[in-house]
């Protein structure tokens, strides 16, 4: 039902009684007409109220029907977008002819996706076997070796390279991390660009000569081999480490730059906490912290943070039954400030994400304060992003409901790292759906979250 139909019903509700009265009066003899008008003259208030009640009732029914249809259309559109972009196994819940037809198309789409996935998996498995064979050979070399992709992610770093670099940088040196957490970006970016273009590049890192060369074809994803040559004479430009205090390091993005950055270009740290209870303000404390990095719209499952925390108080049995963490498990664990110090270094230069993040931050704030650490204030909440994507009052925005809607399998539910991994998978599925709605940047996503009714309700509860 359109808005114009609602207005038409209200007009009909007004005109039909008026026209009926006019026709009746015109058909009556003059004496009967005067008698009728005289009789009704004293009842004009009752007649007017009746007309108002009639118009109001019809208008309310029409408006409610229109609003219900609008909400149904929005919900249907959201479900169809999830099927098309995120979860081919999702289905519309209704039984109308349109919903049945969409579900038939969705089933065919899912079958086609499955066949394509199997074909891609077969081709990928062959490429993986060839790559792993090459990586196995490179990993066993005594000289420092690394492989980097066109986004600067380390695909391989062998023990010899890790041994040279680990003493010169605080950043973890491992596959899946960014090379710019190890090498100074201003030094290394031009060299990587030249190597990707096909040049053979020479440089020097900590007095060790390195050579760089692309090892994939022009039509394949770029992979650049970085190999050190200890004992050779240093040649080429000097590449500094990203934490060298003797030289300026690459500045972190400003708040304005981050807010204007597209979501699929941001590095996120997706986290989750387990606690002694549900009320940080009442003295409940952190007992586990898990997190995973999301980079370039991909979950970096090999780059995780997982730590137990000794809360300094007994863990209630009711909480242990929920998450499985007992006093015995955390007896030898580090304190909250120690874990937060390590976590802050690990999560540096990234945007924090959580599902109902305010709950987690409430437990991270006290140990962070004790350690003198300020966590990155820019953040996203996947629970509020769920409310952006589905404004239906009956929609489920808890982690279980959102994972079910987006087709995310939760492994290790109610463990900090398990829930963080599930939340990260939800986040990367949300990004294209947000883009479809014109929500591209971090700032736009934060504004959209703040405008939801769920955000208002949470703010009222927290207050």
Give residue 37's pLDDT: 67
Class at the top of the CATH hierarchy for domain 255-462: alpha beta
Q: Is it true that 140-228 and 255-462 share their CATH fold?
A: no
pLDDT value, residue 1: 56
* HSE, side-chain direction, 13 A CA sphere, residue 166: 11
pLDDT beyond 80 at 134:
no
Q: Does 42 have pLDDT greater than 70?
A: no
Whether residue 412 is predicted with pLDDT greater than 50 in this model: the reply is yes
pLDDT value of residue 382 = 97
Give the pLDDT confidence of 63-109 residue by residue, as tens digits.
Answer: 777 777 777 777 777 777 777 777 777 777 777 787 878 778 777 77
Rounded to an integer, the average pLDDT of 4-31 is: 70
Q: What is the DSSP letter of 182?
A: T
How would residue 246 be classed by pLDDT, with cut points 50, 70 and 90? Answer: very low
Tell me what pLDDT residue 44 has. Answer: 65
The model's pLDDT over 361-373, given as tens digits with 9 standing for 90+, comes to 999 999 999 999 9
Domain boundaries, the chain: 3-85, 140-228, 255-462
The values of phi and psi at residue 150, to 5°, are -70, -10
- Position 166 scores a pLDDT of 60
What would the mean pLDDT of 411-421 be, rounded to a whole number? 87
Tokens 């079910």 belong to residue:
404
Q: Tell me the mean pLDDT in the region 423-433.
A: 95
Residue 448: pLDDT over 90: yes
Q: Which CA distances in Å does 22 have to 34, 40, 54, 239, 359?
A: 13, 14, 18, 93, 66
Q: Which of 210-214, 292-296, 348-352 has the highest mean pLDDT?
A: 210-214
Where b means 16+ CB within 10 Å and e means fewer, 435-458 reads eeeebbbbbbbbebbeebebbeeb
pLDDT of residue 248: 42
The H helix count followed by the E strand count for the chain is 16, 10
Average pLDDT of the chain to the nearest whole number: 82
CA-based nearest residue to 352, from 368, 330, 370, 336: 368
Exposure class string for 395-409: b at 16+ Cβ within 10 A, else e: bebebeebbebbbbe
Residue 183: pLDDT band with limits 50, 70, 90: confident
CATH class of 140-228: alpha beta
Please report, for residues 12, 14, 16, 64, 297, the alpha-carbon distance to residue 5 in angstroms, rounded to integers and kept in the order given. Answer: 10, 14, 16, 12, 44
Choose between 196 and 97: higher pLDDT.
196
Distance in Å from the first CA to the final CA of the chain: 40
Confidence at 397, pLDDT banded by 50, 70, 90: very high
pLDDT exceeds cutoff 90 at 427: yes
H helix runs in 251-356, sequence order: 255-259, 317-323, 327-330, 336-346
Of 224-228, 293-297, 339-343, minimum mean pLDDT range: 293-297
Supply the angle between the helices 97-139 and 44-85 in degrees, to the nearest 10. Answer: 30
In sequence order, what are the beta bridge partners of 223? 149
More confident of the two residues 245 and 73:
73
Amino acid 389: pLDDT: 92
The pLDDT of residue 172 is: 58
* Whole-number Å distance between alpha carbons of 302 and 173: 12
Model confidence at 431: pLDDT above 50 = yes
pLDDT band at 244 (very low <50, low <70, confident <90, very high): very low
């Amino acid at each position: 039902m359109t808005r114009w139909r609602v207005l038409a019903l209200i007009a009909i509700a007004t005109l039909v009684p008026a026209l009926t009265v006019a026709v009746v009066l015109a058909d009556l003899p003059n004496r009967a007409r005067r008698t009728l008008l005289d009789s009704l003259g004293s009842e004009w208030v009752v007649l007017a109220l009746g007309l108002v009640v009639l118009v109001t009732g019809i208008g309310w029914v029409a408006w409610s029907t229109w609003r219900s249809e609008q909400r149904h259309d929005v919900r249907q559109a959201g479900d169809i977008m999830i099927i098309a972009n995120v979860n081919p196994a999702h289905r519309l819940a209704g039984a109308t002819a349109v919903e049945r037809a969409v579900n038939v198309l969705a089933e065919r789409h899912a079958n086609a996706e499955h066949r394509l996935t199997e074909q891609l998996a077969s081709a990928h498995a062959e490429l993986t076997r060839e790559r792993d064979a090459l990586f196995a050979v490179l990993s066993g070399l005594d000289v420092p070796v690394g492989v980097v992709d066109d986004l600067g992610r380390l695909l391989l770093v062998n023990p010899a390279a890790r041994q040279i670099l680990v003493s010169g940088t605080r950043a973890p040196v491992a596959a899946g991390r960014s090379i710019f957490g190890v090498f100074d970006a201003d030094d290394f970016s031009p060299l990587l660009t030249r190597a990707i273009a096909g040049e053979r590049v020479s440089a020097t890192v900590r007095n060790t000569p390195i050579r760089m060369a692309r090892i994939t074809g022009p039509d394949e994803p770029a992979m650049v081999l970085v190999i050190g040559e200890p004992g050779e004479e240093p040649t080429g430009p000097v590449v500094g480490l990203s934490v060298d205090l003797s030289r300026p390091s690459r500045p972190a993005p400003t708040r304005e730059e981050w807010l204007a950055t597209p979501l699929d270009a941001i590095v996120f740290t997706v986290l989750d906490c387990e606690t002694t209870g549900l009320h940080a303000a009442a003295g409940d404390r952190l007992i586990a912290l898990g997190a995973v990095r999301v980079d370039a719209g991909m979950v970096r499952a090999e780059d995780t943070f997982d730590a137990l925390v000794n809360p300094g108080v007994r863990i209630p049995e009711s909480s242990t039954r929920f998450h499985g963490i007992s006093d015995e498990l955390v007896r030898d664990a580090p304190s909250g400030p120690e874990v937060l110090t390590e976590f802050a270094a690990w999560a540096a230069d990234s945007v924090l994400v959580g599902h109902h993040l305010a709950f987690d931050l409430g437990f991270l704030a006290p140990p962070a304060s004790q350690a003198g650490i300020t966590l990155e204030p820019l953040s996203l909440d996947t629970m509020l992003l769920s409310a952006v994507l589905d404004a239906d009052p009956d929609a489920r925005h808890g982690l279980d409901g959102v994972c079910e809607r987006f087709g995310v399998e939760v492994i290790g539910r109610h463990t900090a790292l398990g829930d963080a991994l599930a939340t990260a998978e939800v986040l990367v599925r949300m990004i294209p759906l947000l883009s479809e709605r014109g929500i591209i940047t971090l700032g736009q996503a934060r504004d959209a979250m703040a405008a939801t009714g769920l955000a208002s309700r949470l703010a009222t509860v927290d207050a």
